Amino acid sequence: MHIIKSAKALNSYLNTIREGDSKVTIGFIPTMGALHQGHASLIDESVKNNTFTFCSIFVNPTQFGEATDLEKYPRPIERDIKLLVEHGCSVLFLPALEDVYPKNYIHKEFDLNNLDHKIEGESRPGHFQGVSNVISRFFDIIEPTNAYFGQKDFQQTAVVRRLIEKCKYKTALKIVPIKREPHGLAMSSRNVRLSDKGRKNAAFIYKSLYQLREDTPKLGLKESVSKAKQFINAQKGARVDYLVAVNSKTLEEVDQINDAESIAVLTVVEYEGVRLLDNIILK
């Protein structure tokens, strides 16, 4: 695996592998490091379907609301490199801040069809504009054939889809199903901040979503969502930030199962001081 730390060196490498071969495909997985088996599933999918697989590790300051969250973000780079090598990643792009955001870079305000102000965006103002800025920079530098994102960050996938459409990128968005720990908790870099007991107990989040899916045909969607919220809030130390059924494309809230062609239930639960994201596709 090549480790490349500057945009200039990466461009040179890209020119080399693309020269004279129009059939070369590049799969790209943007990450902030602290990699786990959820990231590995994205890499595996890319390796299986592309000539080269690129992964970036860059803790993007523009998507953090509070400086303390940025400071606390784990950075186990040696372990991350080991995982990337084991899963056949071709290139790790490990840029410095000035490579992603040069001095002359002007942070953009993307038209995201209001997707950035809903749900998670309401809880974290500016977050998805920060995500869009860094993703657009990587797409401009790498020009990947395919970009791989996890379903766990469901709203992010909707934002990236809009970004690709708005900016007319030729990159195809590939969404990979949630990878879960044995007890059901969605894998996340944040899980390391939970206690061992809390990590196991947090399976109640997926249990509530699974039960919601079972309840919906009998109770209706609105009542099932309400029941799931009550169940989570009844768990010691847990608090629902949001739990909402939405149109999968517009992220508009829905109350009935027939309100949209595709429906997902998105949630964030605060548990042991950690914000845990999860979701389930209902339809």
Q: Note down the domain range covering 74.
A: 2-176
Q: pLDDT tens digits, the chain, 283 residues: what are they?
A: 999 999 999 999 999 999 978 799 999 999 999 999 999 999 999 999 999 999 999 999 888 766 556 676 767 899 999 999 999 999 999 999 999 999 999 999 999 999 999 999 998 899 999 999 999 999 999 999 999 999 999 999 999 999 999 999 999 999 999 999 999 999 998 898 999 999 999 999 999 999 999 999 999 999 999 999 999 999 999 999 999 999 999 999 999 999 999 999 999 999 999 999 999 999 9
Would residue 181 count as lying in a domain?
Answer: no
Q: Please report which helix (H) or strand (E) contains residue 17, including its range.
A: helix 7-18
| CATH code of residue 35 | 3.40.50.620
Would residue 235 count as lying in a domain?
Answer: yes
Q: Within this chain, do residues 18 and 142 fall inside the same structural domain, yes or no?
A: yes
Q: Which residues neighbour 171 within 8 Å (Cβ) at sequence distance 6 or greater?
A: 28, 139, 143, 144, 145, 146, 147, 164
The question of whether 2 is a catalytic residue gets the answer: no
Q: Within this chain, do residues 232 and 266 fall inside the same structural domain, yes or no?
A: yes
Q: Within this chain, do residues 170 and 194 fall inside the same structural domain, yes or no?
A: no
Q: Within this chain, do residues 156 and 196 fall inside the same structural domain, yes or no?
A: no
Per-residue confidence (pLDDT) for residue 88, from 0 to 100: 98
Per-residue confidence (pLDDT) for residue 61, from 0 to 100: 86
Residue identified by tokens 């803790």 is 59
Q: Within this chain, do residues 159 and 256 fall inside the same structural domain, yes or no?
A: no
Strands (DSSP E) found in the chain:
2-4, 26-31, 52-57, 91-93, 146-150, 172-176, 238-247, 263-271, 274-281
Q: Within this chain, do residues 95 and 200 fall inside the same structural domain, yes or no?
A: no
| Residues belonging to the chain | 283
Q: Within this chain, do residues 98 and 223 fall inside the same structural domain, yes or no?
A: no
What pTM, to 2 d.p., does this model score? 0.94
CA atoms within 13 A on the CB side of 64: 13
Would residue 40 count as lying in a domain?
Answer: yes
Per-residue confidence (pLDDT) for residue 72, from 0 to 100: 67
Q: Within this chain, do residues 33 and 81 fall inside the same structural domain, yes or no?
A: yes
Per-residue confidence (pLDDT) for residue 30, from 0 to 100: 98
Q: Name the token pair of 231.
A: 């169940």
Q: Pick the catalytic residue: 39, 117, 127, 183?
A: 39
Per-residue confidence (pLDDT) for residue 74, from 0 to 100: 67
Domain count, the chain: 2
Among the candidates 176, 198, 221, a domain finishes at 176
Would residue 222 count as lying in a domain?
Answer: yes
Please answer whether residues 206 and 277 qualify as being in contact, where contact means their C-beta atoms are separated by less than 8 angstroms.
no
Per-residue confidence (pLDDT) for residue 66, from 0 to 100: 63
Q: Within this chain, do residues 171 and 239 fall inside the same structural domain, yes or no?
A: no
Helix (H, G, I), strand (E, B) or coil at 215: helix
Please answer whether residues 44 and 87 qualify as being in contact, where contact means their C-beta atoms are separated by less than 8 angstroms.
yes
Determine the Cα–Cα distance for residues 50 and 52; give it in Å rounded to an integer: 5
Would residue 184 count as lying in a domain?
Answer: no
Q: Within this chain, do residues 21 and 127 fall inside the same structural domain, yes or no?
A: yes
Span between the terminal Cα atoms of the chain, in Å: 40
Per-residue confidence (pLDDT) for residue 171, from 0 to 100: 98
| CATH code of residue 254 | 3.30.1300.10
Per-residue confidence (pLDDT) for residue 226, from 0 to 100: 98
